[in-house]
Amino acid sequence: MDSSIHLDNIVMQFGDFTAVQQLDLNIESGEFFSFLGPSGCGKTTILNMISGFLQPTHGNVYIGGQNMQGVPANKRPTSMIFQNLALFPLMSVAENIEFGLEVRGIKKAARKKTSDRLLELVDLADSGNKKISELSGGQKQRIAIARALAVEPQVLLLDEPLSALDLKLRQHMRNELKELQRKTGITFIYITHDQGEALTMSDRVAVMSAGKLQQVADPITLYRQPKTIFAAGFVGENNAIRGRVTDVNAENITLDCGELGLLQGNNPGNLSRGEEATLFIRPEHISLDHEQHTNQLSARIEEINFEGSYLTLVATAKNFVKLTVQISSDQYLASMVPHSEIRLSFNPSEAIVIAGGED
């Protein structure tokens, strides 16, 4: 079944305010697709336009090739799971799951068959008669999913459904959601401001900022090749160093980074001499071996955070550029204390250079 989605240049305006700007995007049938961005960037508004709770000011939403203009929410092949789950506390678990089917006039026996099957799918086979209050946070989460799946949606819309759970359960539920998506083959559209969630579960991620699409890519590409300053700073920890282009060759680009001197990064192909740019280097790509790479820096340690198998050092270079360096715990030396100097280097091929300065 075609459960692809095409957002055809959709715009959402609330009065003078544009919450979503000219969004043109295809989501494939059976894809786990996430919208990732900070609070207020327009994620829920997009979900509401797909589900039919909001009509776009301009543009059209297509689901399975059908234009959804004028199709009310309850007639769309979508189901939504809200942040607060919105389970009915006075109904049993099975009644919650069967609710959407009852509204559609499906007979009791058929409803029970569906709820039994879904309870099994979410690993709660014996919980149908329980009250909602008897369930743990993670179990409630699974019932909300089962209820959303009962009406056999082609597209499941998930609005930050894990945000109320504690960290451990959240991590566990990430795997469960991904597994469930594989088992059902339904298109999942997930919104979150948590990059860890988006990167671990999604086939592709759309990074949003202020109503605008920044980049759409698979998680590895997004991490390794961010295309905008916003995406480079928002997806994963990243060190940003501003500079001006002084030299460009086939592979590398050289930036004059003021007091930090000349630093080289990967040539992005769209910059010429004199232009402002920002160089990004991941904490795990900075080495404590000063001689190892062409780009060399000295910095003063501000903080040392032991994270188990690795350490993060927060340091400042020339008193103004904050750098985070991640090293394996084996590399820890007793001399690494706050206020001590470290000498660092990084490889130009691992540094991404993006046009413009940081906001």
| Between 42 and 348, CB nearer to ligand ATP | 42
Q: Which residues of 99-117 are buried (b: 16+ CB within 10 A; e: fewer)?
A: bbbeeeebeeeebeebbee
Interface stretch with ligand ATP, choices 32-40, 62-70, 87-95, 349-357 (CB under 6 A):
32-40
Judging by beta carbons within 10 Å of its beta carbon (0-12, 13-18, 19+), is residue 286 exposed, middle or buried? buried
272: contact with ligand ATP by CB under 6 A? no
Nearest 5°: the CA angle 70, 73, 76 is 85
The whole-angstrom separation of Cα 142 and Cα 78 is 18
Task: Candidates 14-22, 25-33, 231-239, 297-305: pick the segment binding ligand ATP (CB under 6 A).
Answer: 14-22
Distance CA 225, CA 353 (A): 10
- What letter would DSSP give residue 44? H
Nearer CB in complex with ligand ATP: 41/344: 41
Least spacing, CB of residue 17 vs ligand ATP, in Å = 6
Closest approach, Cβ 83 to ligand ATP, in A, equals 8
Contact between 5 and 187 (Cβ < 8 Å): yes
Among 44, 181, 287, 295, binds ligand ATP (CB under 6 A): 44
Q: Out of 140, 142, 193, 204, point to the residue binding ligand ATP (CB under 6 A).
A: 193
State which residue, 21 or 225, has the beta carbon closest to ligand ATP. 21
Distance in angstroms (rounded) separating the CA atoms of residues 212 and 62: 20
Q: Binding residue for ligand ATP (CB under 6 A) from 42, 161, 243, 283?
A: 42
Phi/psi at 331 (5° precision):
-85, 0
Angle at 211 between CA 82 and CA 47, to 5 degrees: 25
Closest separation in Å from C-beta 18 to ligand ATP: 9
Contacts of residue 56, defined as CB under 8 A and 6 or more positions apart, other chains included, come to 10, 11, 12, 20, 49
Residue number with CB closer to ligand ATP (57 or 347): 57
Residues 148, 155 contacting (CB under 8 angstroms): no
**From edge to edge, which strands make up the β-sheet containing 78-81?**
78-81, 155-159, 187-192, 32-36, 204-209, 212-217
Element at 244 (helix H, strand E):
strand 239-248
CB of 227 to ligand ATP, least distance (A): 20
**Binding residue for ligand ATP, selected from 45, 96, 115, 215, defined by CB under 6 A:** 45
Q: What minimum distance in Å lies between the beta carbon of 216 and ligand ATP?
A: 16
Query: Quick one: 41 or 216, whose CB is closer to ligand ATP?
Result: 41
For ligand ATP, which is the closer residue by CB, 39 or 249? 39
How many residues of this chain interact with ligand ATP, rule: CB under 6 A?
Answer: 12
Alpha-carbon distance of 70 to 119, in angstroms, equals 34
One of 1, 22, 26, 40 touching ligand ATP (CB under 6 A): 40
Candidate ranges 13-21, 95-103, 165-173, 246-254; the one touching ligand ATP (CB under 6 A): 13-21
Q: Select from 1, 2, 14, 103 the one that contacts ligand ATP (CB under 6 A).
A: 14
Tell which one of 23, 36, 41, 222 touches ligand ATP (CB under 6 A).
41
Give yes or no for residue 205 binding ligand ATP (CB under 6 A): no
Enter the tokens of residue 293. Answer: 């790479």
Residues that bind ligand ATP (CB under 6 A): 14, 17, 19, 37, 39-45, 193
